[in-house]
Amino acid sequence: MSLYSDSPAGSSGRDCLFPSPSFPRSSQTPQYSRRFHSKPYTQPQTIPHRRRIVQFSRAPTSIPTVSVSDVEKKEKLFSKKYYNFIWFSQFRYHFAIVILTIAFLMLLMFRNIHLQSQLNKLQGEIVSLNLRLYVCHKLDPLNITSATIQDPNTFASGNFKRNLALLSSFTLLFIPLTIFKYIDYVSKSRLSDNISEQISLKKQIAYWVDVFLSVHPYAKPLVLLVATLLLIFLGGLALFGVTSEDLAHCLWLSWTYVADSGNHASSEGIGPRLVAVSISFGGMLIFAMMLGLVSDAISEKFDSLRKGKSEVVEQNHTLILGWSDKLGSLLNQLAIANENLCGGTVVVMAERDKEEMELDIAKMEFDFKGTSVICRSGSPVILADLKKVSVSKARAIIVLAEDGNADQSDARALRTVLSLTGVKDGLRGHIVVELSDLDNEVLVKLVGGDLVETVVAHDVIGRLMIQCARQPGLAQIWEDILGFENCEFYIKRWPQLDGMQFEDVLISFPDAIPCGVKVAAHGGKIILNPDDSYVLQAGDEVLVIAEDDDTYAPVSFPKVWRGSLPKDFVCPKSPERILFCGWRRDMEDMIMVLDASLAEDSELWMFNDVPEKEREKKLTDGGLDINRLENISLVNREGNAVIRRHLESLPLESFDSILILADESVEDSAIQADSRSLATLLLIRDIQAKRLPYSQADGGSFSKGSWMGEMKQASDKTVIISEILDPRTKNLLSMSKISDYVLSNELVSMALAMVAEDRQINHVLEELFAEEGNEMHIRQADLYLCEGEELSFYEIMLRARQRRDIVIGYRLANAERAVINPPAKTDRRKWSVKDVFVVIAEKE
């Protein structure tokens, strides 16, 4: 019997499920097509055969087609049945609890009815017994009337009320649970109906509750209060249902159970005890939540205080905005300035943690002298943070420059000034802004207007280093004048001096030295070193150098012999050779100042690791035209200032002055910059000592071959000025005496503190550091007197006026420090031509 058929009905089941190609049959051996053949394949001819074909009857197999909509309907139906099953499985325990509770309430209600009926029966028996006793004349009639039978209607009404109250309390207790579970069920049903919906009702309600608790500050206490009242009310209703007390008394009992969980111990009976225990348990939860809420509030308050978020309630305080390495020196100067006022208040606000700021300030090694330092964390460009530190009531606001890029620091200072000018209540005090680049000063003053005083740190230090390099010892004098520890500038009005010439005013202050006048007729302009013939007018103020603002006063001027100068004032200029070690941002400004002050044919050697082409580009970008320099010529040398073989390639013994600058690459780290400067200084001094012949006279008390002796001899030949950033480094240089130094950060802090105390002093400092006008000088004594001449300090002051100089102090030949504003100015003493005098004179 053949398994093949020509009709589809004759195909086998296996062939239906796994169809295969039909192969032709012949009477001979079947011819199968080869897989690989060289000739084209031809269909073989079909040869009919006579084999009987038996066909089995079978129903045709057909695959039913199912539409997509039917599948979706079935899936939805299945998901609904599935979620219904899940919902029922999740809530079957809740249903069981509800049914058991209702059953318990019904039993309790029937029990109350049964007990009440027994009570009525007993009361009836008592009344009947009392009547029998009355008949026997053994009972007072009053007792009979008092033992009346309770009205059944009244009892039924009261019993119904109590049962209703008990049922209501349990119903109200289960309503929120039912609502929450229903919301959960609705959310899942919506999610099953619409798969694209992502936010469920449960999440929305949770979000609304979260927003309510977050937005409203008193939401949490309000929720706790509502929960407490609800617990008292439900507990009172439950007690009213299981006891015979009235509702008011039951509410009071409920409150006592909530307030003190031990009060339920006096309850009697199963029902009252169960209700009392439940109320007490709820009360413990309530007070636990209240304790957590109070604890969180106290913790948040202390955390706010710890992080510096509380408001500063101060007046006439000094406000410092920002944080830098200069803060320590600035706080020290402000503390010294407030010492005569028994201390003051300084508020520091920076974008740092309050505890870190307080810890860093506590590590500072100086006495605050009664001054309180308050730290707050905040941003100086946010008005809310500025209001938090009472910016409108501060008498002075100091904006510190940030460490790092100069342009970014000045840009932040500009934004801070903009925020300060936008304070709604206005500013009582002035703003002192520390800038890093002189080019940004105009923009800051344009924004701040008359409220702003600027101190350009790099410009001041650069000019000061040049002055100190050409006049050894001037750095110590500036340190004494700028700081509040010794003598400083003060401006005050003295009406008794009106009509006097400035020459007479000079010798009218025994405890101060006048050096200028604030002219009221010229809009309050300060004139340094005015003419002797200038007569003080009404409203004029006198600029003096004194120890403090309350330590000096004018007296009637004494008679002083003027005398004459010993020789003509001739100061010929000679070419100088100066070396710069390191690179600063304001190098072009320092070069222009040197070109204006040095003699012709002077040389400026620049030794640093900046490539020569890049140096020229930086100088050109800074506004310096090298071809237009008149008095100096630039000599470039490339190398590392801390490598000895690089320094040995320089003629170090031939320089008149050497300036070791805080290199731009390491100026962000004060310790690293100072370490580099110290290493360069020691290497230069050692190379100089090896190249110079040793002299016992120059070495002083040090023996030959002594390291300190060789260094001291080298320091006498060449002046070296080192720029120091960290105040702790100056102790090393002070003890070694091998170099003078400029404590740049501390001097800038002193200037900021002085301008913060009196903004008028900024005009004096600007003129003393400017290219034109007056400046500090150290003059030799032979310009004013002869060897061994006996003169008073007043007489020297009047002699110096013949050269338009104002003598403010002196330094003896065998002394290490200068004396500014000396006492006993009328006492005579012998002077030596090796002594020097500190004067304020016009720039040469």
> How much of the chain is helix, strand and coil, in % rounded to 5?
50, 15, 35
Burial tier of 703 (Cβ tally within 10 Å: 0-12, 13-18, 19+):
exposed
Q: Per-residue DSSP letters for 460-485?
A: HHHHHHHHHHHSTTHHHHHHHHHSSS
Residue range 129-156: mean pLDDT, rounded: 58
- Which one, of 587, 689, 585, 598, lies nearest residue 647 by Cα? 689
Q: Which amino acid is it at 657? A: S
Q: Which amino acid is it at 530? A: P
Instruction: Please give the sequence-ordered ranges of beta strands (E in DSSP) within 322-406, or none if there are none.
Output: 345-350, 372-377, 396-399
**pLDDT tens digits, one per residue of 20-44:** 444 444 444 444 444 444 444 444 4
For residue 269, what are the contacts with CB-CB under 8 A and spacing of at least 6? Answer: 242, 243
**pLDDT tens digits, one per residue of 328-342:** 889 999 999 888 888
* Distance between CA atoms of residues 209 and 206, nearest Å: 5
Q: For strands 318-321 and 396-399, give the pairing.
A: parallel
Assign 810 to helix, strand or coil.
strand
Better-scored residue on pLDDT, 425 or 602 = 602
Neighbour count for residue 159 (Cβ, 10 Å): 17
* Distance between CA atoms of residues 436 and 412, nearest Å: 11
pLDDT of residue 17: 41
**pLDDT tens digits, one per residue of 44-69:** 444 444 444 444 444 444 444 445 45
pLDDT of residue 5: 40
Which pLDDT band, with edges at 50, 70 and 90, does 432 fall under? very high
* Distance between CA atoms of residues 705 and 723, nearest Å: 29
- Give CA angle at 117 (112, 123), nearest 5°: 125
Question: Tokens 């019904």 appear where?
Answer: 106
For residue 174, what are the contacts with CB-CB under 8 A and spacing of at least 6? Answer: 98, 101
> Residue 807 has which token pair?
């003598």
Assign 543 to helix, strand or coil.
strand
Which pLDDT band, with edges at 50, 70 and 90, does 729 fall under? confident
The full 3-state SS of 647-678, as one line of letters, equals HCCCCHHHCCEEEECCCCCCCCCHHHHHHHHH
* Distance between CA atoms of residues 186 and 181, nearest Å: 9
Q: Per-residue DSSP letters for 296-341?
A: HHHHHHHHHHHTT-SPP--SS-EEEES--TTHHHHHHHHHHHTGGG
143 pLDDT more than 80: no
pTM score: 0.69
Question: Tokens 């039912």 appear where?
Answer: 178
Residue range 768-791: mean pLDDT, rounded: 88
> Residue 787 has which token pair?
């060897």
Helix count and strand count (H, E) for the chain = 26, 22
pLDDT of residue 290: 83
Which pLDDT band, with edges at 50, 70 and 90, does 242 fall under? confident
Better-scored residue on pLDDT, 466 or 82 = 466
pLDDT of residue 214: 74
Burial tier of 300 (Cβ tally within 10 Å: 0-12, 13-18, 19+):
exposed
Which pLDDT band, with edges at 50, 70 and 90, does 585 fall under? confident
**pLDDT tens digits, one per residue of 346-357:** 999 999 888 889
Which pLDDT band, with edges at 50, 70 and 90, does 10 fall under? very low
